[in-house]
Amino acid sequence: MKRMLIACLAGLAALALAVPASAIHLGGPEIGTGEGVDFQARGSFKALGGWSDNADFSDKGQEEDEFVAGQRARVYFELAASKNVKYVLGTEIGETVWGGDKGGAIGTDGENIEVKHSYLDFNLANFNVKAGLQGVALPSHYGSNILNTDVAGITASTQVNDMLSLTAGWLRPNDASTPDNQHVNGTDEWDAAFLAAPITMDNVNFTPFFVYSWLGKESATADNILDLVNMPDSNFGEVALEGDNAGIYWAGFSGDVNLDPITIMADLNYGSMDADKEEQDVKGWFGYLEADYAMDMATPAIFGFYGSGNDDDKDDGLEIMPKISPDYWAAGSTFLFDGDTLFPGFQDSDLLDQANGLMGFGFKLKDIQFMDKLTHDFNFVWVQGTNDKKTVKSDYTPKIQYMTEEDSAMAVEFNSAYALYDNLTALVELGYINPDFDSDVYDNADDFDENAWKAAVGFSYSY
C-alpha cells in the first residue's frame, strides 16, 4: 500500500507544470544548457532589542539575562530557465544574538548560514510541482497544530475549475538511516501523504484535508512516541513503539464565511494512531472558532478553542491529537504562544508553540488605527489544560507546554507597527502572562507562580 501510494504521487509529479515568474535577466550562459536564466531575489531582515522576565514563570535558580538584542535574515533566490521551470534556494542566517557565539560576537564571523529551502518548481499540463526541501502547512487560520514547517518531499497542485483546486504531496519527515547510510532498511523512515481541496464560493472559503502517515518502528520518533503529543517524559518515561509500523491519519478542514461586516472562521482537526498495543494508541482532536466584526478604526474579535487532553487511564493510550511538526500557533497571543512578529521563539523558548491539550477563549482588537501608517493590536487570552491531573507526578516541574485541568494562564498584550516605508516597518511589542499552577497537583507549584512580561522594539524589512 505504501509503495503504491508513493508511486502514484511520483506519477502525479511527473505530470506537473510551473508557475511563471517575473524576474530580472542576468544574462550569461547557464552551465550545461548554454542558455540564460532569469534571477529573482526576495526575503526579509528583522532586528530587535527585547526585555523579558520570568519566561519560565520561576524566580528560582539561574539569574535571567533580561535584555537581548539580535537579528534574523532570510533570502530566497529563484533561477528560472523558462516560464515553466525554476529552481528555488532559500537561505537563512538564523536567530543571531548580538555578542553571542553564533556569529554575533566581535569579529562577527559565524558558521550560521543555513539552507531553508531547495526545490525544483515546474509546470506540465495543468499541474504545478515542487520537489525538494520546501515549506508545507496544512490548512488553518493561525498555524496548523499538525504540520507547519519545512520538510523534504514532493507536492503537486492543480486548478480543477473556478471553484475547486487540489494539492497533494508525499513528505519524508525523518529517515533514521540517512546520516551515515548504514543499517538501511524499510522500517526506519517516517513518511506522510496528504490531499487538500480548497473550495472557493461567494463569500465562503472551505478547505478539507486528509493526511496519512507511516511511522516506522525504527524511526527516530518511534523511540519515544510521547514526542507526538508533547507528553512529559517524567510522567510516562520513554515509550518506544512496539510491533509493526504504525499508521497515523489526520482529517479536518479550515474555513471562513464573510457576512460583511462579520467574518466567521473555523478550524477542526482530528488525528489517530493505531499501534499494535492499545496502550500506545494516540488519538485526539482540536477545534477553533472566531468571529470578527469589521469597523472603520478597528476589528474586534472573539474566539474560543478546545484541544482534547489525556485521561488518567494509561491502558487505553493517549488522548491528545498527535502531530508531525507544528510551528507557533498564535491565534490569541504572540507572547503566550511564542509567535512574536519580530521572530518567533527568540527569547521565550519555555512558552507554547501549539494548542493541543489546551482549551481557552479570548478577545482581540485587530488593526486599530487612529493615524496614517500606525496600527495596533490588543489581545487577551485565557487558557487551561485539558489533561487529567493524575497524568503528572507531584514532583514534576510545572510547564505551560503540558497543563492539567487544574492549571491555567492569562495573557494580555499590545503590539504596534509603524510603516516607515512600504517595505520597512518599526515594531513595538508589549506582553504580560499570569500563570496559575495548582498546588494540589505539584509539590513545587508555588515556585512557578511568577508573572512573565516582555517589551521588544525592532525593525522588519521585506523585499
What's the whole-number average pLDDT of the chain?
86
15-32 residue pLDDT tens: 333 333 333 333 444 444
pLDDT above 70: percentage of residues in the chain = 84
Q: Which residues contact 44 (CB under 8 A, 6 or more apart)?
A: 73, 74, 460, 461, 462, 463
Fold of 2-462: Porin (2.40.160)
**CA 460, CA 423: separation in Å to the nearest integer?**
8
Q: Which residue has the cell 507572547?
A: 335
Q: Where does the pLDDT of residue 184 fall: very low under 50, low under 70, confident under 90, or very high at 90 and above?
A: low
* Mean pLDDT, residues 432-446: 92
- Which DSSP helix (H) or strand (E) runs through 14? helix 2-14
| pTM summary value | 0.87
List, for residues 259-315, the tens digit of each pLDDT value.
999 999 999 999 999 877 888 889 999 999 999 999 999 999 999 999 999 998 877
* Domains in the chain: boundaries: 2-462
pLDDT digits 0-9 by tens, 340-394:
776 665 555 567 878 999 999 999 999 999 999 999 999 999 999 999 998 888 8
SS3 of 114-165: the string is EEEEEEEEEEECCEEEEEEEEEEECCCCCCCCCEEEEEEEEEEEEECCCCEE
Q: What is the CA radius of gyration of the chain?
A: 23
Asked whether the predicted pLDDT for residue 77 surpasses 90, the reply is yes
